[in-house]
């Protein structure tokens, strides 16, 4: 047993001690939950472009900002090389390029780099890459010999291309933020996801993290809902194969709300649900920020008898063959963040009361 696993029971007790014994609803800050449509931004000073990764999200952000989505011409030559041409004036304007790094990831990454380069060559005053899903955040450490750290490399590529700022949402690991040599605004969807569940009866619910690495975020989520938290003890065997040895926390007779930052193939979630069923859990709702749902994920999650609902956000395009999937939009948060950056205002205050990791610094007294 690892040191992490041996200390897990006390870890969960410590996290649950900070939660009330009975659910107490927390009122989230209005900026994290109200519509941002009609945010006033001087249209002549801001221009928003989008690659091909997720144009509906870019359009929704522009609708909230009340600015048009500027066109981009992407040309593919006979040798398979790409060329980006921005179809709107960028000179001395603040340029925002919306492009989540979703499959085909390398294609969309190259589009983003080319659009950044084009904006720099067009004398943009500032260039912000709006990357709702930074997929290379999972490549964040050297955990084997002679292995690449893609998260840092892609950050370097963005800076070299000419980006001045990066805006993203829910990086896989905190250290990825430090890979960038330019300012990074990291947003969180915890408040949006919590709003979904606050409308339900949570008297028999418990928040469950798939692993200890996500336990801190799950704990903050549980505090927003006024619930206790549990976590799985996970060992990863391969990209799509995991083993969950045990559940730390009391889930007997309770309905789980499983929170994860990203769901790709769904292997970890299915393994966790099987262990929850063994521990007497009555059912589970699944929530995540980035719902990729690749491979057999849709089939696995739609047919699992434990799952009552799956909730995600629109940081990535939703699968077209899953009408039951509940998608909460983050376009308003990104629009508000863009408006605040343009006006020189605080972005972190968007999350005051939602998650201290993303909110403004708290005053500390020293004796």
What pLDDT sits at residue 356? 86
Hey, CA dihedral for 268, 270, 274, 279, is it positive or negative? positive
CA 316, 322, 324, 328: dihedral to nearest 10 degrees? 10
When pLDDT is averaged across residues 104-131 and rounded to a whole number, the result is 98
pLDDT tens, position by position, 180-207: 999 999 999 999 999 999 999 999 999 9
pLDDT tens, position by position, 12-34: 655 565 454 444 433 333 333 33
Active-site positions read 234
Residue 136 to residue 158: CA distance in whole angstroms: 12
Q: What is the DSSP string of 13-67?
A: HHHHHTS-SS----PPPGGGTS--TT----TTTEEEEE-SS-HHHHHHHHHHHT-
Beta strands in 46-203 (DSSP E): 46-50, 72-76, 82-86, 94-98, 126-131, 165-169, 184-187
When pLDDT is averaged across residues 71-83 and rounded to a whole number, the result is 97
What pLDDT sits at residue 37? 45
Residue 297 to residue 303: CA distance in whole angstroms: 10
pLDDT exceeding 70 applies to what percent of the chain?
84
pLDDT of 63 > 50? The answer is yes
Query: Lowest-pLDDT range, 5-19, 79-93, 105-119, 271-285?
Result: 5-19
Residue 213 to residue 301: CA distance in whole angstroms: 22
Contact by Cβ (8 Å): 220, 190: yes
CA 203 to chain CA centroid, Å, is 27
Residue 26 to residue 198: CA distance in whole angstroms: 9
Residue 85 to residue 74: CA distance in whole angstroms: 6
pLDDT of 64 > 90? The answer is yes
What pLDDT sits at residue 11? 55
Contact by Cβ (8 Å): 187, 152: no
Q: Are strands 229-238 and 241-248 parallel, antiparallel or unpaired?
A: antiparallel
What pLDDT sits at residue 174? 84
The token pair at 331 is 């376009």
Residue 337 to residue 186: CA distance in whole angstroms: 10
When pLDDT is averaged across residues 152-166 and rounded to a whole number, the result is 98
User: Is the pTM higher than 0.85?
Assistant: yes
Contact by Cβ (8 Å): 202, 227: yes
Contact by Cβ (8 Å): 202, 229: no
Beta bridge partners of residue 47, listed in sequence order: 95
Per the prediction, the chain carries an average pLDDT of: 88
CA distances from 263 to 232, 297, 300, 356 (A): 16, 8, 12, 24
């Amino acid at each position: 047993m690892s040191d992490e696993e041996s200390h897990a029971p006390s870890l969960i007790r410590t996290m649950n001690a900070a939660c009330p014994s009975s659910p107490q609803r927390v009122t989230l800050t209005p900026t994290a939950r109200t519509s941002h449509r009609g945010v006033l931004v001087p249209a002549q000073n801001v221009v928003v472009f989008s690659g091909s990764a997720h144009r509906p999200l870019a359009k929704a952000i522009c609708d909230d900002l009340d600015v048009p989505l500027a066109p981009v011409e992407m040309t593919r030559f006979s040798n398979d090389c790409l060329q980006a041409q921005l179809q709107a004036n960028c000179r001395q304007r603040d340029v925002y390029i919306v492009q989540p790094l979703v499959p085909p990831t390398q294609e969309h990454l190259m589009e983003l780099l080319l659009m950044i380069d084009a904006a720099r060559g067009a004398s943009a005053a500032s260039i912000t890459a709006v990357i709702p899903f930074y997929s290379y955040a999972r490549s964040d450490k050297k955990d084997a010999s002679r292995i690449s750290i893609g998260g840092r490399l892609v950050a370097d590529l963005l800076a070299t291309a000419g980006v001045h700022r990066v805006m993203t949402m829910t990086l896989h690991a905190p250290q990825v933020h430090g890979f960038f040599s330019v300012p990074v605004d990291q947003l969180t969807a915890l408040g949006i996801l919590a709003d979904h569940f606050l409308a339900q009866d949570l008297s028999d619910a418990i928040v469950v993290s798939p692993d200890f690495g996500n336990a801190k975020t799950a704990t903050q989520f549980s505090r927003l809902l006024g619930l206790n938290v549990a976590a799985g003890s996970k060992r990863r065997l391969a990209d799509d194969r995991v083993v969950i040895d045990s559940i730390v926390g009391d889930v007997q007779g309770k309905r789980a709300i499983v929170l994860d930052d990203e769901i790709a193939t769904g292997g970890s979630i299915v393994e966790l649900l099987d262990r929850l069923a063994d521990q007497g859990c009555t059912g589970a709702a699944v929530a995540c920020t980035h719902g990729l749902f690749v491979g057999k994920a849709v089939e696995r999650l739609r047919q699992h008898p434990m799952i009552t609902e799956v909730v995600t956000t629109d940081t990535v395009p939703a699968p077209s063959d899953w009408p039951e999937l509940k998608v909460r939009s983050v376009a308003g948060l990104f629009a508000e963040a863009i408006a605040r950056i343009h006006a020189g205002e605080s972005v972190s205050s968007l999350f005051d009361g939602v998650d201290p990791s993303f909110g403004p610094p708290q005053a500390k007294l020293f004796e």
